Amino acid sequence: MTTTKKKIRIMTDSVADIPAALLQKWNIGIIPTYVNFEGGSYADDGVELSRDYFYQRLPEMKEFPTTAAPSHALAEDLLHKGIEGYDHVISIHVASKLSVTANNVRLGAQSLKDRVTVIDSGLVTMGIGMQVLAAAEVAAATGSVEAVVQAVEKVRRHQKLWAIIANLEYLRRSGRVSVIRAFAGSLLQIKPILDVHDGEVEVAQRVRTMGKAVAKLKELTEEQAPLERLVILHINNEDGARELQASLGSVVPPDTITITVGPTLGTHIGPGSLGVITLRKAWRS
């Protein structure tokens, strides 16, 4: 029996931080999240809101910014536009334990019935992005919704995301991550390395200097080799990201990406922070 190959569109939200060139290559649709500050509400799409401008202003803001998921009405509109010319949309989103985005997209998808599959990535930033890129590759190769879903699940099992928080004050002010309770009374003395997985944010390591934190981050990354993909994350810390990548040497795979984390997530993490996302080659086996 021959299975009809479907034309599948991959969509995601702007928390995925996928570089514009890769969005264009795979025609990936974006449902934006929003950042509210200084009396305005801005789509965190890399166009309406400049990341450089936002992070320059962030330390001086008297009122702490807030972030918002897309409404289900916006999601519905963008899904209807996104599915034009396609048989099916697979939409992959920021961890549902950290945002209502995936739920709102599910609500927005109801009018399209079984033509949309919504996936909770369990991750943030390019952790989502790695799943999206794998989905786009498999969708183009197979035209099978089932094969794409299976590929995303395999990628998720072989991913790691760690982040060094340079200043815990931003997490404290955001009030969004309960892990901050573990550091009450020691906000200035600790540089935690956070482990993000399955929508949970946990403390992987507690160290007292940025140098020691970076050394541990390097060690954690090396333990994941051989890597198919590596993403270096930073917020206003290009020098730190560059030095971290150089220190990893032969562990670094081709096409490694360095990105500035978008304001939706960066609001809660703050300038100076560093991170890595790894994907082991073993996901393809």
- Check: CB of residue 45 under 8 Å from CB of residue 14: yes
**Model's pTM, two decimal places?**
0.94
Please report the pLDDT score of residue 202 as a whole number: 87
The CATH code for residues 159-284 is 3.30.1180.10
Please report the pLDDT score of residue 46 as a whole number: 82
Please report the pLDDT score of residue 185 as a whole number: 44
Residue 100, exposed/middle/buried by CB under 10 A (0-12, 13-18, 19+)? middle
List the structure tokens of 15. Answer: 């928390």
Collapse the DSSP code of 102 into the 3-class scheme (helix H, G, I; strand E, B; otherwise coil) and give the result. helix
Per-residue pLDDT tens, the chain, 285 aa: give them. Answer: 556 899 999 999 999 999 999 999 999 999 999 999 999 999 998 888 999 999 999 999 989 999 999 999 999 999 999 999 999 999 999 999 999 999 999 999 999 999 999 999 999 999 999 999 999 999 999 999 999 999 999 999 999 999 999 988 888 777 655 555 555 445 556 788 999 999 998 888 888 899 999 999 999 999 999 999 999 999 999 999 999 999 999 999 999 999 999 999 999 899 999 999 999 999 999
Beta strand residue intervals within the chain, DSSP E: 8-13, 29-31, 34-37, 40-43, 66-68, 88-93, 116-120, 159-164, 191-197, 200-207, 227-234, 257-260, 274-280
Provide the pairing of β-strand 66-68 with 40-43. unpaired
Residues 81, 128: Cα–Cα separation, whole Å: 22
Q: Say yes or no: domain 8-33+69-157 is CATH 3.40.50.10170.
A: yes
Residues 222, 225: Cα–Cα separation, whole Å: 6
Please report the pLDDT score of residue 45 as a whole number: 87
List the structure tokens of 73. Answer: 């009405």
Where along the chain do its domains lie?
8-33+69-157, 159-284
Please report the pLDDT score of residue 2 as a whole number: 54
Residues 256, 245: Cα–Cα separation, whole Å: 9
List the structure tokens of 275. Answer: 């991170």
Q: 159: which strand partners?
A: 279
